[in-house]
Chain A
Amino acid sequence: MLDGFEILTTSGIVLWRRHYTPISSSLIDSLVRDVFIEEKQKPGGGENGAPSYKKDRYTLRWTSAKDVGLVFVAVYQSLLHLSWIESLLTAVKGLFIKAYGQELKAAHTLKVNTAQWDPTFDALVNRLDTGSTRRQSDTIDSEGPTELTPPSSSAGDDADEPPPVPAPLFRKPAIPIKRDDLVGDSTSTDATPIPTPDTSRPATPGHAPSHLLTAKGGPGKASRRSRKAQTFNASAPASSGDESSPGHNLKGGAKTAAKGKRRWDVDGMAIEGDDDGVLDYSAPATPGPDSTERELDVAEVNTSQMGSRTGKGQFVLKDLDDEVDAILASSSKPQQRSNATDDTTGSGLLASASSRLTSLFRNVVGGKTLTKADLQLPLQQMQTHLLSKNVAPEAANRLCQAVETDLLDQKTANYTSIESTIRDSMTKALTRMLTPTSSLDLLREVTSITSGQGAPARPYVISIVGVNGVGKSTNLSKIAFFLLQNHFRVLVVAGDTFRSGAVEQLRVHVRNLSALSQREGVGKVELFEKGYGKDAATVARDAVAFATNKGAQPPGGSGQMLYDVVLIDTAGRRHNDSRLMSSLTKFGQLANPDKVFMVGEALVGTDSVAQARNFAKEFVDTKGKLRNNGVGMDGFIISKCDTVGDMVGTLVSMVHATGIPVVFLGVGQHYGDLRGLNVGWAVDKLMK
């Protein structure tokens, strides 16, 4: 059962919504944020082009119309599996754009009048909803398949009630079984209550010439059964609905010849001899003088527009269901259509030469509508360009796909070629990927944690992880230098208990840094180490406890924390070594760092993607959820950027793999060579 359906624009305004149960607005907000903006979910998932997104026990399926800037979202409980949602989405998209597409294409449209849309949507849901997951509708279903005869025509002596009303009450149990056959059928059910011509339902005498029934029911209270028998016997078979058929004529004439007009008075006695009275209140059987006017009033009708003939020879009207069928059928075979349009219209040397000239001309002047073939070659070149900048093939592929979906069927601006349009689009895509959702201000965060706003003051814990030899210890000392310049007290923890000389290396760094800081009179830095061979996680935990200094009560001083920031170095490890990677999980849980930064070197190639992914998925908390809102780590530090020059593609690969932003760049081997990321600079370098 559908919980809700919304139609919203890309600028966030909800054009129409239908909530069957209350849904919080944050569901769709998080869909927009996670999927459309932050692109955390890889596109193309889900069957039949209606990808799904799960949050909080709800599943959301959506489809979008790029040209008018609309998104259609269907919400239902994750426990259910509704197979008809894709067809619902496709049908709604087709019908809504057909109905309101013009209004939406005009600029500055903030809302559309959706009064007529509600019944259309209800009809659509009723039609597509199958079987057990169908929601009971409130209104009585007055439609019915033509094959089912209304049971009341044979049963029921209630002569007073007009035929149509009791019929639907009996039809309801039969529907779930019959529906499945009918959905694919081309014989349509009458969804809209339009007056059908009489002869469309020859099998249902109850619906037969209704005007005849009402007229004759007045004066002569014959039983319904005999009345029906009369009309059934005398009515003409299925024909073109001509009211003045000769059959009626014969019927009227025959009656007056065979029987005298019988009238009854209140006592039940027959009144004789009133041959002048007119008892037949039906429409004139013979084409009288005024009937020609009526024929002229009838406008020319194109029967193929109104409906079609079924195999059985019945003329059934085209209506909502046919439109829906057409939309669903066309959506399931888009490939054949696109292939067909690839054939060139002109043939011969002259036509092909002129078409090539015009396309060249259009390429320079602009105003060309971009097709897949147009974009293929330039996008290939763009992808090669990105690969030459050391971007991983997976990331380059995804960026090119994004640019292609963005530019397909768009027109180029004036005097811009396809290449420059693609460059612009690629720049935008790269900027969007590299820009973090919220930029990291390390000093502010450290200050707020150590000064204890809202929570008791405690040290700020940062840990550095990465594979072997990327520059973890060097970048850690650069960060320590930066923090020292800002008057913080830093504790450096030698968490690398494996590699020979790791502790000594850090000791040298700390000695240098303390000499520098003493000279300038800022901050304090110390080393915390427990030698070699110990478990890194326990070393980290002891270090944090030492820095917090809760237990110790030195004489003359309260249990104040000794250090503001704790920087924990870890051992380098291969990302495909599962034993070493699993020890990271324990480390993360025991040390409980505020920030986990992974160092990646700018020189690494395709391996960066796998490295980033494997490291990110190790940092789960005790409940099994990835920390930092489900991404795992807090940032990347890309080291050795000065050695690669322009080829900074590793930035893109690592961000693409995990969605974690780049926070620092290492640009040298001295203590001051640490920079923040400027997105414009990076994109510039990549597109140069």
Chain B
Amino acid sequence: MKKLEDWLTWALSPSISAILVTLIFSLTLPILIHTYLYKRAVAKELPTFLLLGPSGAGKTSLLTLLANGTPSPTHTSQAPQTAICQLPSTTRSSEDKYRSENDTSSRSQPSIQLLDTPGHGKLRHHAISSLTFPTALKGLLFVVDSAVLSSAAGLTETAEFLYDVLLLLQKRHTQGKTSKTPLAIPVLLVANKQDVFTSLPAGLVKSKLEEELGKVRQTRSKGLLDSGIGMDDDGEADEESSWLGEYGANGFKFAQMREHGVDLEVVGTSTSGEGEGEGEGRGHECWSWIGANV
């Protein structure tokens, strides 16, 4: 007890040593707390790119190609899969936009996370939930099977899924609850399986899908009301909000989505064909788009 009293007396007295101790303590304690807190919070989220598309398009195959360099054989996916990979050295990322080509300083390529989701109708909720609760989602790769688009059934299925996805993005953009609009997510339409004989080239894929999306939005607007019509409080019965693209326009074009912040590009690729050229490996079209949008 006596020792405690003595110590307290010393601590509250105006002696030099007490002042010094207090000074040191008060200066170092915040620094220690800061390093402790910020060391824990270092886990930064990697930019994520979501792979989605109808079943059989080649999403899982594309994932293995981008992550490993060579595609593995795959079957229908039942569960989503993530993979972390680094941009290949030949791709320029958006950080290096203003660097000269001859710049020889070493730079480490950014790493990204790829999220592959199942394409089967019953399991599309994985893809949709990743869209509605995005965590650092930087872009979307919508993979389609170019060969199956020449048949009516395949075209319909692809167009309906694409319609759902684009409508979701549009609603996210136009109906934000705050005045700050959420970040726009660019979309890359990957026309896969270009090596198959009956596949359509990328330009034709784009125009066919535009035409089909126009038809789909026509029938969806005239279709039956949903049974869950009283559920949402936002008053979803507004016709304009569920019309994709430009309201009242005749045909649908992907350029109409640009005003809603959805930038759509189309590339053709093939995961199982031979690589083109020595300088670029397979999947380089995807890499260049990913690099530009990281």
Binding site for B on A (CB under 8 A): 8-14, 17, 25, 28-29, 32-33, 36-38, 69, 107-108, 110-111, 431-432, 435-439, 441-444, 447-448, 453-454, 482, 485-486, 641, 664-665, 667, 674-678, 680-682, 684
With beta carbons under 8 angstroms apart, the residue of B74, B78, B80, B216 that contacts A444 is B216
Chain B residues whose CB sits within 8 angstroms of the CB of A33 once the complex forms:
55, 76, 120
Could you give, for residues 37-67 of chain B, a 1 whenever the CB lies within 8 Å of some chain A CB and a 0 otherwise?
0000000000000000001100010011001
Flag if A431 contacts B216 (CB, 8 Å): no
> Which residues of A sit under 8 angstroms from B179, Cβ to Cβ?
none
Give Cα A124–Cα B125 distance, bound, in whole angstroms.
Answer: 40
Q: How near does chain B come to A29, taking the closest CB pair, in angstroms?
A: 5
Tell me which residues across on chain A come within 8 A of B60, comparing CB atoms: 11-13
Q: A13-B81, A443-B219 are in contact. Are A437 and B227 (CB under 8 A)?
A: no
Contacts of B83 on A, CB cut-off 8 Å?
108, 110
Q: A437-B121, A443-B219, A486-B222 are in contact. Are A110 and B78 (CB under 8 A)?
A: no
Given contacts A12-B74, A12-B76, contact A437 B122 (CB under 8 A): yes
Known: A486-B222, A676-B223. A36 touches B78 (CB 8 A): yes
Closest chain B residue, CB of each to CB of A682: B227
Query: Measured between alpha carbons, how far is A665 from B125 in the docked complex, in Å?
Result: 22
A647 CB to nearest chain B CB (Å): 15
Q: B121, A10: Cβ atoms under 8 Å? A: no
User: Given the known A-B contacts A10-B79, A25-B73, A25-B75, are A110 and B68 also in contact in the complex, defined by CB atoms under 8 Å?
Assistant: yes
Q: Once the chains are docked, how many angstroms separate the CA of A431 from the CA of B122?
A: 8
Q: Digit string of B111-144 for contact with A (CB within 8 Å is 1, else 0)?
A: 0000010101111110000000000000000000
Residues of A within 8 A of B118 (CB): 11-12, 37
Contact between chains at A438 and B125 (CB < 8 Å) = no
Q: Once the chains are docked, how many angstroms separate the CA of A134 from the CA of B157?
A: 45
Q: How far is the CB of A601 from chain B (nearest CB, A)?
A: 16
Closest Cβ neighbor of A486 among chain B residues: B222
A11–B83 Cα distance when bound, in Å, is 12
Chain B residue nearest to A435 in the complex (CB):
B122
A678→B76 contact, CB < 8 A: no
Q: A111-B72, A435-B122, A439-B160 are in contact. Are A11 and B116 (CB under 8 A)?
A: yes
Question: Which chain A residue has the least Cβ–Cβ distance from B156?
Answer: A444
Which residues of B from 206 to 225 have beta carbons under 8 Å from A? 215-216, 219-220, 222-225
How many angstroms from the CA of A468 to the CA of B72 in the assembled complex? Answer: 55
- Whether B84 lies near A108 (C-beta < 8 A) is yes
CB distance from B95 to the nearest CB of A (A): 23
Residue in B80, B160, B229 whose beta carbon sits within 8 Å of that of A675 in the complex: B229
What CA separation (Å) do A676 and B124 show in the bound complex? 19
Q: Which residue of B lies closest to A17 (CB)?
A: B73
- Chain B residues contacting A108 (CB-CB under 8 Å) are 82-84
B231 contacts partner chain A, Cβ-Cβ < 8 Å: yes
Compute how far the CA of A453 lies from the CA of B152 in the bound complex, rounded to whole angstroms: 9
Could you tell me the distance between the alpha carbons of A624 and B113 in the complex, rounded to whole angstroms? 50
List the B side residues contacting A110 at CB < 8 Å: 63-64, 67-68, 72, 81, 83
Interface centre among B122, B223, B227 (most CB of A within 10 A): B227
Closest to A6 in B: B75
Would A111 and B68 count as touching, CB distance under 8 A?
Answer: yes
Shortest distance from the beta carbon of A19 to any chain B beta carbon, whole Å: 10
The 0/1 profile, CB within 8 Å of A marked 1, for residues 75-100 of chain B is 11111111110000000000000000
In the A-B complex, list the 8 residue pairs whose CB atoms are closest, starting with the nearest. A681-B228, A678-B228, A11-B81, A12-B77, A437-B121, A675-B227, A443-B219, A10-B79
Using Cβ atoms and an 8 Å threshold, which residues of chain A touch B101?
none
Chain B residues closer than 8 Å to A442, beta-carbon distance: 223
Indicate whether A12 sits within 8 Å of B125 (C-beta atoms), given known contacts A110-B72, A681-B226.
Answer: no
Q: Which residues on the B side are within 8 Å of A441 (C-beta)?
A: 156, 160, 216, 219-220, 223
Residue of B80, B125, B223, B229 near A435 (CB, 8 A) is: B125
Contacts of A14 in B (CB 8 A): 72-75
- 9 new A-B contacts, CB < 8 A, other than A11-B80, A441-B223, are A9-B81, A13-B81, A29-B76, A110-B64, A441-B160, A444-B156, A447-B219, A454-B152, A682-B227
Are A431 and B75 touching (Cβ within 8 A)? no
Shortest beta-carbon distance from B244 to chain A in Å: 15
Which single member of B121, B216, B227 contacts A676 (CB below 8 Å)?
B227
Complex Cα distance A437/B84, Å?
30
- Residue on B nearest A432 in the bound complex, by CB: B122
Sample 13 A-B pairs with CB under 8 A, ordered by A number. A11-B60, A12-B60, A12-B118, A33-B76, A37-B76, A37-B78, A110-B64, A111-B72, A437-B121, A439-B160, A441-B219, A444-B219, A667-B227
Q: Which residues of B are at the interface with A, using a C-beta cutoff of 8 A? A: 55-56, 60, 63-64, 67-68, 72-84, 116, 118, 120-125, 152, 156-157, 160, 215-216, 219-220, 222-229, 231
Q: In the complex, are the beta carbons of A438 and B121 less than 8 A apart?
A: yes
Contact of B227 with A37 in the complex, beta carbons under 8 Å: no
- How far in angstroms is the closest Cβ of chain B from A236? 55
Residues of A contacting B77 in the complex (Cβ-Cβ under 8 angstroms)? 10-12
Chain A proximity of B217: nearest CB distance (Å): 11
Cα A439 to Cα B125 with chains together (Å): 14
| Inter-chain contacts of B116 with A (CB < 8 A) | 11
Give the Cβ gap from B214 to chain A, nearest Cβ, in Å: 12
- Cα of A105 to Cα of B57 in the assembled complex, Å: 27
Look across to chain B and name the residue whose beta carbon is closest to the beta carbon of A455. Answer: B152
B55 to chain A: which residues have CB within 8 Å? 33
CA distance A682 to B231 in the complex (A): 11
Instruction: Please name the residue on chain B nearest to A27 by beta carbon.
Output: B75
Of B67, B156, B157, B226, most buried by chain A (CB within 10 Å of CB) is: B226
Q: Nearest CB to that of B74 among chain A residues?
A: A12
Give B195 Cβ to nearest chain A Cβ, in Å. Answer: 16
A477 to chain B, nearest CB (A): 15
- Nearest Cβ on chain B to A366's Cβ, whole angstroms: 20
CA of A36 to CA of B73 in the docked complex: distance in angstroms? 19
Tell me, in angstroms, the Cα distance from A135 to B62 when the chains sit together. Answer: 36
Taken together as a complex, chains A and B put the C-alpha atoms of A47 and B33 apart, in Å, by 62
Cα distance A677–B152 in the bound complex, in angstroms: 25
With contacts A8-B75, A32-B75, A37-B122 taken as known, whether A107 is within 8 angstroms of B222 at the C-beta atoms is: no
- Which residue of chain B is the closest to A641 with respect to CB atoms? B227
A142 to B210, CA, bound (A): 65
What is the CB-to-nearest-CB distance from A430 to chain B, in angstroms, rounded to a whole number?
12
Q: From residue A350, how far is it (CB to closest CB) to chain B in Å?
A: 38
Closest chain-A Cβ to B132's Cβ sits at a distance in Å of: 12
Bound: A448/B156 CA distance, A: 11
Chain A nearest Cβ from B146, distance in angstroms = 19
Inter-subunit contact B82/A107 (CB<8 Å): yes
Nearest CB in chain A to that of B231: its residue: A681
Enumerate chain A residues within 8 angstroms of B226, measured Cβ to Cβ: 675-678, 681
Residue of B nearest to A447 (CB): B219
**CB nearest neighbor in B for A69:** B79
Chain A residues contacting B157 (CB-CB under 8 Å) are 438
Given the complex of chains A and B, what is the CA–CA distance between A8 and B81 in angstroms?
Answer: 13
- Chain A: minimal CB distance from B66 (Å): 10
Q: A431: which of B72, B125, B225 is its contact (CB, 8 Å)?
A: B125
Q: Is A674 in contact with B224, judged by CB distance below 8 angstroms?
A: yes
Query: Which residues of the other chain, B, contact A11 by a CB distance below 8 angstroms?
Result: 60, 77-81, 116, 118
Docked complex Cα distance between A453 and B153 (Å): 12
A482–B222 Cα distance when bound, in Å, is 9
Interface centre among B64, B122, B156, B223 (most CB of A within 10 A): B122
User: Roughly how many angstroms separate A447 CA and B214 CA in the complex, as a whole number?
Assistant: 14
Residues on the B chain within 8 Å of A436, using CB = 121-122
**Chain A min CB distance to B225 (Å):** 6
Tell me whether B227 and A13 are in contact (CB under 8 A). no
> Distance (Å) between the CB of B268 and the closest chain A CB?
23
**Which residues on A sit within 8 Å (CB–CB) of B84?**
108
Complex Cα gap A107–B216 (Å): 39
CB-contact partner of A32 in B76, B80, B82, B228, under 8 A: B76
Interface centre among A12, A676, A682 (most CB of B within 10 A): A12
- CB within 8 Å for A12 and B121 given contacts A443-B223, A676-B226, A678-B227: no
B79 to chain A, nearest CB (A): 4
